Structure 1
């Protein structure tokens, strides 16, 4: 089975985060504020237009409660 492209992988990453934010009653703006990331950067990550830094993955994990391992698997398509 062919491995998905990076865009597809990042899209899954964004969907994972957006689903969690929705369950928490939060949005991208809340994530940006609580994680210390810029709203533009968060939008770029969630829309698959930018790879998140290690620090961004850590901060997103802290805010959403999604483990770093789960976020990394979504990025690398190992799930």
Structure 2
């Protein structure tokens, strides 16, 4: 994910979260840096509830310029 510049997830009805915590141990803090990510586009994700539900996860998007979230009706917060 270090080289990722664009993230587009469009019309995927089964997606509930973008970053999963399935491999992380409970109580372990985690930091994810998307250093080159310029664009995030999340569109028509009818079951998307959050970007990441893991409570001990921190994100950094130092290059982010565009964030588009459309028709993600179940999404109430970006991350825990």
What is the TM-score when the length of structure 2 is the normalising length? 0.20
Q: Name whichever structure is richer in helix by fraction.
A: 1
Pick the structure with greater CA Rg.
Answer: 2
